[in-house]
A = this chain, B = another copy of it.
Amino acid sequence: MSEDLCGVNVVHSDRVIRASTALVSNEIARRLAETFKVLGDPTRIKIISALYEGELCVCDISAVVSLSQSAVSHQLGALRRERLVRRRRDGQKIFYSLDDEHIKRLLSECLDHVAEEESLVESGTAAG
Contacts and interface: CB of A to CB of B under 8 A. Distances in A.
Interface of A: 5-13, 15-16, 18-24, 26, 28-46, 49-57, 59-69, 83, 100, 102-103, 105-107, 109-114, 116-117, 120
A11 B55 CA distance: 14
A60 B46 CA distance: 38
Given A23-B65, A40-B40, A49-B22, A60 B15 contact: yes
A42 B53 contact: no
Q: How many copies does the complex hold?
A: 2
B49 A29 contact: yes
B23 A63 contact: no
Given A6-B67, A11-B59, A106-B113, A33 B22 contact: no
Contact of A28 (B22, B28, B114): B114
A53 B15 CA distance: 8
> 4 closest Cβ contacts across the A-B interface?
A37-B40, A36-B39, A102-B113, A36-B40
A10 B69 CA distance: 11
Contact of A49 (B24, B34, B109): B24
